[in-house]
Amino acid sequence: MGVLNVTPDSFSDGGLYLEESAALAHGRELVAQGADLVDVGGESTRPGAEPVAPDLQRVRVVPVIARLSSLGAATSVDSSSVAVAEAAIAAGARLVNDVTAFRAEPEMAGLVADRDVDCCLMHMQGEPRTMQRNPRYGDVVDDVKAFLAERLEFAVREGVGEHRVLLDPGIGFGKTPAHNLELIDRLDELLSLGRPLVVGTSRKSFLGRLVDRPVGERLPGTIATNVLALERGASVFRVHDVQPVRDALITAQAALGARHRAGATVRRPWRPRPPAGPRTTTSRTS
CA-to-CA distance for 85 and 90, rounded, in angstroms? Answer: 9
d(CA 127, CA 150): 18
Strands ordered across the beta sheet of 95-98 = 2-5, 38-41, 75-78, 95-98, 118-122, 165-168
The single residue of 46, 203, 238, 246 carrying the catalytic annotation is 238
What's the rounded Cα separation, in Å, for the pair 222 and 207?
7
The yes-or-no answer on residue 115 being catalytic is: no
Cα–Cα dist 197/156, whole Å:
17
Residue 4: φ, ψ to 5° = -130, 100
**Cα 2 from Cα 34, distance rounded (Å):** 9
Closest CA to 252 of 232, 238, 272: 232
Please say whether the beta carbons of 113 and 158 come within 8 A: yes
Parallel, antiparallel or unpaired: strands 236-237 and 118-122: unpaired
Measured between alpha carbons, how far is 95 from 107 in angstroms, rounded to an integer?
Answer: 16
Active site residue 204: yes
Residue 285 in contact with residue 109, Cβ under 8 Å? yes
From the list 60, 204, 218, 267, the catalytic residue is 204
- Enumerate the active-site residues: 204, 238
